[in-house]
Each structure stands twice: as structure tokens, then as C-alpha cells.
Structure 1
């Protein structure tokens, strides 16, 4: 795994944070933290998209963020687990992993001077 894919994974973690913040923030500091998480999440996503296929980057970002948000909802806020929810998460992750596996790494373009 290279640095850009690590950025996508970190961006997805911040996505989980800002999605939770949008629902549960009640103080000014929580809203500031949510705004910072949004900025970091999209900054990392945009930077990764400069080096990797944008469609694949976005699909991985959203898939990981969705999975993380559903898991955080259950673990932190008591949202019940249902078999259908678990099956859908597994299918989502399988699609994300499959998309990553079939997408080739772009070749670095040589800059002419």
C-alpha cells in the first residue's frame, strides 16, 4: 500500500468523525472539531485523487466511511446490529476491495522540460 492509499484510509476515518459530529455536536467546540474533520477529510481525499484514479478513490473513501459510521453508530450510540445490516456491510467492503484490486496503479508522468 502506498502513501496515497493510506491518505484515503485516514480521510475515511475523519469522515466518520465529521458525520458523527454533524448529528451529535452540541457545543461550539464540537462544531469546530466537526469542521476541522471535514477539512482534513476532504484535503486528504483531494490530495490522493491527484495521484490515484478519482473514481476508485472516491468509492473506497465512501465505502470505508459508510462502514466506519455504521460501526461507530452501533458501538458508541447503541444502534442495534441486524443480520441484513451486516450482510450489506460485507457486500460493500467486498465491492470496495474488489474495485481496488482491479484498478491498476497509474504510471507517473514524466515532466518534460
Structure 2
């Protein structure tokens, strides 16, 4: 796995953090953490998108972020665990993994390479 896919994975983790922050932030520090998570998340995603196919980067970013947010709601916030949610998350992750696996890791040569 090249470093740009690692950036996408880390960006998705920070996406989960800022989405949770948007729902639960209620003071200066939690809002500050949420804003920092947004900045880190988008910085890493945009940076990876400069070297990898941007459509695939965005799909993987959003798919992993969505799955992570739903799972976080279940694990940390008492959202009901339903078989349909788990099945749909697995379908989503299968699509994300499939999309990533058919995308070539050829790094685009740019001006800043």
C-alpha cells in the first residue's frame, strides 16, 4: 500500500471524528477539536487526491467515513445494533475495497512530485 492510500485511511478516521464532533460538540474545546479534525481530514484527502484518482479517493474516503461513523454510533453512543445496518455496512465496505482494488496505484506525475 502506498503512502497516499495511508493518507486516505487516516483522513477517513478524522472524518469520523469530525462527524461525531458536529453532533456532540458543546463547548470551545470540543468545537476546536472538531474544526481541527475537519482541517486534517480534508488536507489529507486533498493531498492524496493530487497523486491518486480523485474519484476513487473520494469514494473510499466517504465510504470508510460513513462505515466508521455508523459503527461509532453503535459502539460508543448506544445506537441500536440491527442486522440490516451491519449487512449494509459490509456491502458498502465491499464496494469500497472493490473500487480500491481495481484502481491502479500509478502515481500521477505532477509539478510538485
Alpha-carbon distance between aligned partners in 1 of 2:43 and 2:110, rounded to the nearest angstrom: 25
Aligned partner of 1:12 in structure 2 is 12
Aligned partner of 1:44 in structure 2 is 44
Aligned positions of 1:23-38 closer than 5 A: 23-38=23-38
Aligned partner of 2:84 in structure 1 is 84
Higher Cα Rg, which structure: 1
Alpha-carbon distance between aligned partners in 2 of 1:108 and 1:77, rounded to the nearest angstrom: 41
Moved over 4 A (4+): none
Aligned residue-pair number: 111
Q: CA RMSD in A?
A: 1.3
Please report the TM-score for the alignment, with normalisation by the length of structure 1: 0.94
CA contact (8 A) 2:48 2:57 kept: yes
Matched, 1:100 2:104: no
Identify unmatched segments of 5+ residues in structure 1.
none
Shift of 1:101: 0.7
Identify unmatched segments of 5+ residues in structure 2.
none
Aligned partner of 1:56 in structure 2 is 56
CA contact (8 A) 2:50 2:108 kept: no
CA contact (8 A) 2:20 2:69 kept: yes
Of 63-72 and 100-109, deviating more is: 100-109
Shift of 1:109: 3.0
